[in-house]
Amino acid sequence: MEDFDRVSRVDKFEKRRKNSKSISILVVIGVVLLVFLLGFWLFGGKDDEAAKDKNNNAASQSEENNSEQDGDEERDQFTRIEEKEEQASDQDANQKQQDKEGETSETNAAVETEQVQPSDDNVIEAYIGDWQPIGTEQSGTHTTDYNDGSQDRKEIAKAVSDVTGLQEQSMVTHWVGNGGEQKVEATVSNANNSQIYRVYLTWIDERGWKPTKVEKLKQVMIN
Chain centroid to CA 129: 45
pLDDT at 19: 64
Quote the longest CA-to-CA distance of the chain.
175
Q: How many CA atoms lie within 13 A of 122 on its CB side?
A: 11
Question: What is the C-alpha separation between 187 and 185, in angstroms, rounded?
Answer: 7
Give the ranges where 44-170 is alpha helix by DSSP (H): 45-109, 151-164
Of 111, 120, 104, 109, which is closest to residue 216 (Cα–Cα)?
Answer: 120
127 and 103 in one domain?
no
- pLDDT at 12 > cutoff 80: no
Q: Which of 141, 179, 140, 175 is nearest to 157 (CA)?
A: 175
Does 130 lie in the same domain as 83?
Answer: no
Do residue 25 and residue 96 come from a single domain? Answer: yes
123 and 82 housed in the same domain: no
* pLDDT at residue 79 greater than cutoff 80: no
Q: Please state, as a whole number, how many other Cβ atoms lie within 10 Å of the Cβ of residue 166.
A: 20
Q: Specify if 223 maps to a domain.
A: no
Q: Are residues 97 and 21 in the same domain?
A: yes
Q: Which of 110, 126, 150 is the last residue of a domain?
A: 110
Same domain, residue pair 154 and 62: no
CA-CA distance, 101 to 119, in Å (whole number)?
A: 30
Those residues whose C-beta lies under 8 Å from the C-beta of residue 136, and which sit 6 or more positions away, are 151, 155, 206, 207, 208, 209
Query: Are residues 1 and 95 both part of a single domain?
Result: yes
pLDDT tens-digit series, residues 124-145: 999 999 999 999 999 999 999 9
Q: How many domains does the chain have?
A: 2
Residue 105's pLDDT band, with cuts at 50, 70 and 90, is low
Which residue range(s) make up the domain with 135?
Answer: 113-217
pLDDT band at 55 (very low <50, low <70, confident <90, very high): low
3-class DSSP assignment, residue 20: helix
